[in-house]
Amino acid sequence: MILSVGVSAEPLAHSVRFLVERYPRLAVGFLATPESRATGEAVSACQGLDPALVRVETVPDDPSNTRQVMASATRLLGWLRDLGLPTGRIAVNPTGGRKWMSAALSLFASYHGLLQVYVDVDYGASGPMPETMELVRLGDLLEQSQLLRLDAVQKLFNAGLFLNAALLAQKIAGQGETGSLVASALRELALYLHDWDQLRYIEKEPDFEPVRTAVRGALVPLGPEWRAFADRLDALQAVIAELHGCNRDPGAKRLFLLDLVANARRRFVADHYGDSLLRLMRLAEELAAVHLAEHGIDVVDYRAAPEREELPESVRKQLADRLSGRWSPLQFRERIAILHKLQHPFGKCAYRRLPKGFRDVWDLRNRSALVHGYKWVDPAIVGQALDWFVHYVEDLTGRSVSELDVPEMPSLGLVLA
């Protein structure tokens, strides 16, 4: 037991007597100010505590110096553990000392996951009535604060920062019972969406069933808005499952293109303009590959293309020259140049300014910080380019980018409070 000590000896003596009667080998670490140290020593002596199982730590009577309380409590905790006591057998009574000491000690106990208790007693005309004494458990401050921290998970999630939301939810789930079931469900969901956001479905089909089970079991009971949230997640998962099945389809209407532009839009909304720009350029590369496939040109294996008479001579020569050197997939500039020679509209768009083309974003990417230059990304240009690509891909696929919108998570802390 770690016990804060006040100047008055009587309440402390009753508490220690109550504990000794139930735990004969009671080990007590007293946390006292210089004025109350003698009280702790006197009580331990008169209650017959084994001197080997008693330790007193003194802290300055300075409300601004809670650091000393933490340091002394840490030493007492280490001493109790050295006696062979596991965390589950160590309790803290923070109620006896000065208010600022009690607050610091309670926070210390919460951080280390220690049981917090105090001895409650009714007082009669002649003082405390021993028959009314009982050990009362105090609430864990950090455990209760998890409810407030769940609001932070919601904010991270709604900002599209799924990995950050998952990591915070994992911490909450591991630090107490309050909200842990909800936090575990949020972690499952956020990790699933993070994997999707990182395009990991290209290699492995995502398993949504653990997420569905967790969401339906822990979140839907919170209210009708959560049921609607879960239903929208199910709809999104259906599209993600479809993505895994079609992302390697070389056809012009593959859903993969829609997901790439939705991915760029999520980054833009989260104010990550550089990330959004890079995803738009990756989308442009994929679109060029799709359009070349319409002419039977594979951007990776184009060995047979120079022999195809239906292709313009200039295209066949470019590909033949490319094959005469060291082989590698066609780069973006080469793809665009070939499409332009084929008089494909997308090839022409690459050379036009916004809003009729995307030359601006191509230039911005090439001059952006840490790519080929030190110029920071202009959000206005990225926003215009994003609109251009959204409309282009929606027209190409006949589907809406809104299919890949993540539903906004309802409030958590207020629901659970």
Q: Tell me the pLDDT tens digit for each residue of 340-399.
A: 999 999 999 999 999 899 998 888 877 765 656 667 788 999 999 999 999 999 999 899
Give mean pLDDT, residues 90-113: 86
Per-residue CA distances from 376 to 269, 270, 350, 383 (Å): 17, 17, 21, 14
Cα gap 313→338, rounded to integer Å: 11
Give mean pLDDT, residues 142-159: 76
Confidence check: pLDDT of 415 > 50: no
Strand locations in 106-237, DSSP E? 115-120, 123-124, 127-128, 134-137
Confidence check: pLDDT of 49 > 90: no
Please state whether the peptide bond connecting residue 355 to the residue before it is cis, i.e. omega within 30 degrees of 0.
Answer: yes
Residue that is written with structure tokens 């062979």 in the block? 84
Q: Which two tokens stand for residue 90?
A: 């160590």
Confidence check: pLDDT of 21 > 50: yes
Which residues partner with 91 through β-bridges?
115
* Residues making up the chain, counted from first to last: 417
Confidence check: pLDDT of 416 > 50: no
Residue 326, phi then psi, degrees to nearest 5: -75, 125
Q: Which residues contact 4 (CB under 8 A, 6 or more apart)?
A: 30, 31, 32, 93, 94, 95, 96, 97, 98, 101, 102, 105
Which residues partner with 290 through β-bridges?
none
47 versus 296: which is more confidently predicted?
A: 296
Q: Which helix (H) or strand (E) holds 2?
A: strand 2-4
Q: Where do the domains of the chain lie? A: 2-139, 143-248+408-416, 255-397
Confidence check: pLDDT of 82 > 90: yes
Q: Which two tokens stand for residue 294?
A: 């319409």
Q: In the CATH scheme, what architecture does the domain 2-139 have?
A: 3-Layer(aba) Sandwich (3.40)
**Among residues 263, 283, 260, which one has the least CA distance to residue 272?**
263
Centre a 10 Å sphere on the Cβ of residue 261 and count the other Cβ atoms it contains: 25
Assign 252 a pLDDT band (cuts: 50, 70, 90): very low
- Per-residue model confidence (pLDDT) at position 247: 59
Cα gap 390→386, rounded to integer Å: 6
Confidence check: pLDDT of 319 > 90: yes
- Per-residue model confidence (pLDDT) at position 197: 93
Residue 240, phi then psi, degrees to nearest 5: -65, -40
Confidence check: pLDDT of 38 > 70: yes
Q: Which residues contact 222 (CB under 8 A, 6 or more apart)?
A: 182, 410, 412, 415, 416
- Per-residue model confidence (pLDDT) at position 320: 93
Assign 417 a pLDDT band (cuts: 50, 70, 90): very low
